[in-house]
Structure formats: C-alpha cells, structure tokens
Amino acid sequence: DTLDAGAGTMAYFGHSFEYSFYTKFYSDQIARTDTKGREFYYNNFFIHPYQSADSMRVSNLDNKLFFRLQPWSSDAIVSQIEGGAGYQHLTYYTFSPASYLQGHRNIAENNLYVYAGANGKFRKYFSWDAFGKYNLAGYNIFDYRLGANATFSFYPFRDKKEPISLTASFNTSATRPDYYTNNIYSNHFIWSNDFDKTFETKIEGELNIPKWKMSAFFGYALVNNHIYYDTLGIVQQHPEKINVMSAYLQKDLKAWLFHFDNQVLFQLSSNNDVLPLPLVALHLRYYIEYELVKKVLTVQVGADGTFTTAYFAPAYNPA
C-alpha cells in the first residue's frame, strides 16, 4: 500500500494469440495477337496460352507464452525484462501441377521460437533496450534476430526540454527466404529454389538537435546472400557480400509562417547491379502553416518534392 501504481517489483505472465490471413489474386487476358502484351511476360504462358487466374493465400497462427518482469522500478537502469516462447503455424496455397491429380492441398509449415528483451534508463541522460529471437525448430530453424539501441542525452541549452540526443543502434539477423520466394507456379513465372539464409548486419548512429531543428544520420549495412529480382522478373540470390553506406542531413528552417524542411540523403552500394541505390536523394517540403481555428485546427499549404540522381530503379510487375 505504500507504493505508487507501477512502482517497485512486479511480474506479469500472459498468453498472446494472433491470427492473420492474406490473399492475392492476379488475372489477365492477353490475346494471341497482342504482341506487346505477350512480350511484357517474355512470351511465358505456362498454364494457359492467353488467360491467367493465379491465386496465392497464406494464413498465420501465432501462439505465445510470455513473462514481463520489473525488477526494481519503471525508471531503473534495468527497468524491464521480458521473454517467452511461441509456436507459429503457417499455411500456404499456390497452384502446382500435382493439384490436377491429388486435388487442392495447402502447404503447412511450423516454427518454434524463443525470445527475450530488456530495457532501462539512467535518469534523463541515458536509455537503452535490447531484443533477441531464435527459432529452435521448423521451417525457419536457426533463424535469429538480435538488436540493441542506446541513447545518450545532453542538456547544454537553457531550455532543458530540448536535449541533444545521440542514438546508436546495432541489428543482426539470419533469415530463411519465405515459401513463395522459393516456390512459385503461375501462368507467367515458375521457380523452385532452395535459397540459403540471408544474413544482414546494421550499425547506425543518429544525432538530433531539436533546438536547431537539425538531425544527422549515418548507417552501414553488410548483406550476405541478398535476394533480388533480375531484369526478367525472376527471383535470384547473390552469393557474395554487399556493403551499403548511407548518411543524411536534415535541417528545417522557419520564417514567420513559412517552413522549409530539407533532407539530403547519400547512399553507396558496393554492387549496383544487385542492390541499386541512387547516390543522392533529396526530400524537400516547403509550406505555409497557420492556425485556422486557434488551438483546434492547423493548416499546412505547400509542396512536397523528391529528387534522386539517376539509378537503375526496380520496375513493378503486376503478376
């Protein structure tokens, strides 16, 4: 009775249940005389010579038992520890020639995983969090994801509500490609793959100075076994490492009602054939902001524009 709500040591135990369902249906009619339409799919008609009706469906059932522990208080250096175990049941539908003989059959995959996380802070100067997940069995066996973030805050200005913050992040993961990346049988595309896991590691840092309306970011990523779509729309896996560096600077200016928000992004990819990126990308927002109804309705009128240097941008393929 002497503790405030949320103070002291507490523990929670619970169960989480999630069910999601996704479908996609693609259809077309491309006449035999429609040369351009047929060339769009490189004259690939594997099921029907001029009509497509391709259906895909996936359902996800995820059950999770978890605990959450507050060892000391909500603002301690270790303020929360959580973890749990889960079971995931996935069902997929896609056409295959076996459907003619065996009838409709869904493909079922299962995953058993554990996860854990923690976070905390030291007064208003430092906060941190970390998370990890590991698959023990099933389709995604030995997949993992680890991440951590730390934020340092400094208060050099008179207004202590606007600190300078420096955030550092680390993430690493290993992921088996999903079922449809490995298996497709449709009117225009067919593949049956056994791709290796994709490994990705990211190190990022961000500096925010709200008083000056300015922020800066730098990131480095290392990707191994990157999955991409080639110029024919076929999924491929690049067996070598790809390095990606990115950095942006954002500075917002204001003069009376006029706002000028500017962001400049620089990117470098070590393999632009597999992972193409524009070297420079600009995002500019210039607008007038005013209160139409005081303290109730604010209006922004202006323009939002983007620009990138030339690069080989991936195309959209409806099928």
Amino acid of residue 277: L
Query: Nearest 5°: phi and psi at 37?
Result: -65, -40
pLDDT of residue 297: 95
Classified as helix, coil or strand, 62 is strand
Helix, strand, or coil (residue 133): strand
Q: Which residues touch 300 (CB under 8 Å, ≥6 apart)?
A: 259, 287, 288, 289
Identify whether the C-beta of residue 287 lies closer than 8 Å to the C-beta of residue 301: yes
- What are the Cα distances from residue 276, in Å, to 107, 198, 228, 230? 34, 18, 10, 12
pLDDT at 276: 95
Contacts of 51 (CB under 8 A, 6+ apart): 27, 28, 29, 30, 187
Chain position carrying tokens 């909500």: 74
Q: What is the pTM for the complete model shown?
A: 0.89
Q: In this predicted structure, what is the pLDDT of residue 183?
A: 93
Residue 154: CB atoms within 10 Å: 11
- Phi then psi for residue 176, to 5 deg, are -75, 135
Q: What is the DSSP string of 156-176?
A: -SS-TTS-EEEEEEEEEEEEP
- Contact call for residues 118 and 133 (beta carbons, < 8 A): no
What is the structure's pLDDT at 41? 94
Going from the C-alpha of 293 to that of each of 206, 258, 286, 290, 303, the distances in angstroms are: 36, 18, 22, 9, 22
Supply φ then ψ for residue 33, to 5 degrees: -90, -5
Question: Token match 């993961």: residue?
Answer: 173
CB-count exposure of residue 72 (10 Å: 0-12, 13-18, 19+): middle
Low-confidence ranges of the chain (pLDDT < 50): none
